[in-house]
Amino acid sequence: MATTVPDKKTCPECRREYAGDVVSCPQDKSLLMGAISDPLVGTKLGKYEILSILGRGAVGNVYKGRQDEIDRIVALKVLQSRHLSDALSLKRFQREGKATCRLYHPHIITVYDFNVQEETGQPYIVMDYLKGVSLSEVIRTEERVKVARAINIFLQCCEALDHAHDQGIIHRDFKPSNIVLIDFDGDRDFVKVLDFGIAHLINDGSRTTMQRLTGSGDVCGSPLYMSPEQCRGTELDFRSDIYAMGVVMYETIIGKLPFTGKTVMETMRLHSEEPVPKFSTVRPDLYIPQQLESIVRRALAKHPADRHQSMKELAAELNAIAPDVKRSSILPAYQGKNFHKIQPYEQTFGSLIKLAKSSGGATGFMLTQLVKALKAIKRAVKRN
């Protein structure tokens, strides 16, 4: 028997629950799902009691459940009954279950069970119930992620995808909404990668969100994050995930996607044909270390042979700059066409002032005068 919870509403994006007259999520402005009846809520799937619905996707629904004998809270992804006769949807769902059951890694969501309900024939996947926030929500609410924090997230994603690749599995739909950050052992940015082999249709009417889908046929993935070879529907290898990782890094660092066309087809053409916009062109108000931009641009190379050839290689490059990046920060925004002329001075003032204070006699005096001269130049550049 289906059950309802009076006035209880859930955000389909962040999964927060609200009561009362709230219509949209205060965090991400998504329209809340009302506490409507669902035929599975209050019933059991095998040994799992269905407690509530967490979200609805294109082909599957996700529920909060409880495994009775050990009183463990889990998440269950269930193929919608209307897709049981769709061989393609059924195959994709089964592929996700089999793929994730093969993966055992701290940065990949844990799958406990993959089974079929005897009465209805509905397949379901039993997974970790995660209490966290998706990277897509972090980008949406904070506009971008600071460099040091972003690299920490990227390195964990590299570990997760490298493990999947070692198992012969290509994610094919890697994107910020499939990256969840949880609080684990004091680390609030502990990464969990989700959704291997299937994606969600999220439609809020906007140009960007309309394209966050997994299509049917030969072209499968989310167009905003798809590699050029994926856009063409040609054979893929692990380097397609590296391109998607490049898109995720680009968006995370500056808060903008590298390519967003007016239509799905235009977005796919941009991925295949157009050069990647420079960070300074898209966000002239930010200072991002050149080494980091070079890594991102290499991951976004049009030809797979020009990208990093493995997640290990990409992680090695990120690790190499991580100590320097952690000492860097995004500089205050200076508006105007002369911003690029000011950037180099910002990086020298702090160290020169410290050196001048620690030096005595003539050396300290000369350094102090040099700092004053540089500051005067900066003021002149800003005025122009």
Token pair recorded at residue 265: 């087809």
- Strands 48-56 and 60-67, sheet pairing: antiparallel
Distances (CA, A) of 187 to 132, 137, 153, 249: 12, 18, 11, 20
Three-state SS across 16-52?
CEECCCCCECCCCCCECECCCCCCCCCCEECCEEEEE
Distances (CA, A) of 273 to 139, 147, 242, 370, 373: 26, 28, 18, 47, 46
User: Residue 67: phi, psi to the nearest 5?
Assistant: -90, 110
173 flagged as catalytic: yes
Helix 339-358 vs helix 361-383: crossing angle, to nearest 10: 160
Amino acid at 170: I
Q: What's the burial of 26, exposed, middle or buried (CB within 10 Å: 0-12/13-18/19+)?
A: exposed
Long-range contacts of 31-36 (CB under 8 A, 24+ apart): 31/204, 33/9, 34/9, 35/4, 35/5, 35/6, 35/7, 35/8, 35/9, 35/10, 36/4
Radius of gyration of the chain (CA): 24
Given 128, 162, 173, 195, which residue is catalytic? 173
Q: Provide the strand spans (E) within the chain.
A: 9-10, 17-18, 44-45, 48-56, 60-67, 72-79, 111-116, 123-128, 132-134, 179-184, 187-193
Q: How far is CA 135 from CA 139, 173, 178, 204, 205, in A?
A: 6, 14, 8, 18, 21
Catalytic residue numbers, as ranges: 173
